[in-house]
Structure 1
Amino acid sequence: MIKSVDKALRLLEILSQSDRPMRLRDISDASGLTRSNAFRMLQTLRDLGYVQQNGDGSYYDLTLKLFEVSARKVASNSLVSAAHPILQRLSEHVTENVMLSVREDLTSVVIDRIESRAFVRTFAYLGARAPLHTVSGGKVLLAYAPDEVVAAMSQNLVRFTARTITDPDRLAQEIAAIRKRGYATAFHEINEAARGVAVPIRSRHGDVVAALSISGPMEDLSDELIGDFVAFLKEHAALIERAWPGTNQGAGLSSVPRPSSA
């Protein structure tokens, strides 16, 4: 590992997690770097356009350059391009968040979403990450992942709420249920507000490459409503599979993380 790169990325992550500009001393404390080391790193990141100094120069904040880089990557993703209009169509049937997620290591990452139209909602942003065992989309991706991914996840079952799955045997039961019924649910497992329902999206080879989910507070989520959501999700997942070049022509497979085994 190149230590200077590790330190620079650590500073970017710290700044991204703050909802306001940060002072040098606070960045230093959060990163574990000395103030002089943090200062030099921040000046380099400023010169490269990733960080800006606000006010009298004593506060640091991110620029939009990281967003620009990420947006270009997402825009070139053939799965996102194929799925986005179908996500929009699905959002016309439901008031909750509609999200498209893929797996990176032991986390699910939101690569596209249509924001909820409900008055009371949970916010989902592009690039949002969550451990696979805590959200419905992540559970779908985990259920069809290679055995070594499931084994690694079973050793990293971090608790977020009282309902988070933290027992490996309970996780194995959940995975078996998802594979049998073809969809996943998550109720208050990443935070107390969120509920979700998700189904898999498959490549032309049958590999699960992504998850399509509906999420939000949904306090009135009955078994009947879950059934309605699953029907909507499966219908629109099939549309995405037909529209995606990676499904029909085998193109674009490199634009998403390597599909997990079904």
Structure 2
Amino acid sequence: MLLEDESNAVVKSADRVLDVIELLARWGREMSHTEIAEALDIPKSSLTKLLKNLTARGFVEFVPVTKGYRLGEALIRLSQQSTHSRSLVSCAQPVLAEITQQTLESCALNQIKGDQVAVVATVTSPQRLVSHLRLGDLAPLYAVSGGKVILAFLPDQMRSEYIKTVKMQAITPKTITSKKALLAQIETIRQTGVAYSMDEYTPGIVGVGVPVLSSSGFPLGSLNVAIPSVRFSERVGARAVAVLQASAERVRRDYIAANEHTR
């Protein structure tokens, strides 16, 4: 019979295995040992053992060229998700509807996909002048509020790697194309917890975004609203921030509670 401390250690190890798999699925590319350790706040020695076991079972593969890890073939043979597990999208969908009810603006849940951000759930504003955030739309992390705020809260090494390799291109005349300017914005976003895109991706649209953070502080995704510039003001922006931050906390809490319950 396992002692209580031993039992707790086994449960913690199982949680970490699931955390590694979920992280690799979200990130969408190979991740180094250090990146995984930072993202999940796992001691490197413990992570080495986990990755060794996962690799041996085929759930994770080591890629020599990039010296990174990715999901393995064994996962393909398993069901994509337990029917009892709630995804971030299912937790966020009713909250998105409430965001639009409160702000009267289009809103979205976004998640990182490689070096871009994708709209994974959205609700459209009922107003005549509206910005359409279409399901599946991809945008550069540096150009939209939902992407910037995810970028700001990535672990240091992941963020540094992105900054080092990204090729910043002007999408509109107001798109930030300087890495120095982006780093300055990231510092502000980390302090305030809010990101803005002022006509930087779509002319005439102001984006306001906040992160949805895991219990370890990793950005599971982001919530944002898209406000036509003619309707945007300091008061409107402050209202949007308040609604988004309360909504992000609700999604975070529901997601963590639901998935801890099913483990």
**Length-normalised TM-score, structure 1:** 0.63
Instruction: Report the count of equivalent residues.
Output: 180
Measured in 1, the distance between the counterparts of 2:258 and 2:150 equals: 17
Q: 1:204 to 1:170 in 2, by over 3 A?
A: same
Q: How does 1:49-64 map to 2 (within 5 A)?
A: none
**Length-normalised TM-score, structure 2:** 0.63
Alpha-carbon shift at residue 238 of structure 1 (Å): 0.9
Q: Which residue of 2 aligns with 1:140?
A: 149
Measured in 2, the distance between the counterparts of 1:137 and 1:110 equals: 9
DSSP-derived class of the 2:209 partner: strand
1:192 counterpart letter in structure 2: P
Is 2:91 aligned against 1:82? yes
Is 2:122 aligned against 1:98? no
Q: How does 1:231-246 map to 2 (within 5 A)?
A: 231-245=242-256
- 8 A contact 2:153–2:217 mirrored in 1: no
Q: Which residue of 1 aligns with 2:234?
A: 223
Q: 1:246 to 1:140 in 2, by over 3 A?
A: farther
Q: Which residue of 2 aligns with 1:255?
A: none
| Identity %, equivalent residues | 29
Measured in 2, the distance between the counterparts of 1:203 and 1:100 equals: 15
Measured in 2, the distance between the counterparts of 1:156 and 1:191 equals: 19
Measured in 1, the distance between the counterparts of 2:250 and 2:113 equals: 24
Is 2:117 aligned against 1:117? no
Measured in 1, the distance between the counterparts of 2:220 and 2:153 equals: 9
DSSP-derived class of the 1:134 partner: coil
DSSP-derived class of the 2:112 partner: strand
- 8 A contact 1:202–1:208 mirrored in 2: yes
The one of 171, 175, 180 equivalent to 2:186 is 175
Structure 1: runs of 5 or more not aligned: 1-71, 253-262
Alpha-carbon shift at residue 241 of structure 1 (Å): 1.1
Structure 2: runs of 5 or more not aligned: 1-79
Alignment deviations for residues 29-75 of structure 1 (CA, whole Å, 9 cap, x no partner): xxxxxxxxxxxxxxxxxxxxxxxxxxxxxxxxxxxxxxxxxxx99x9
More helix by share: 2
Measured in 2, the distance between the counterparts of 1:143 and 1:250 equals: 29
The one of 127, 138, 142 equivalent to 2:136 is 127
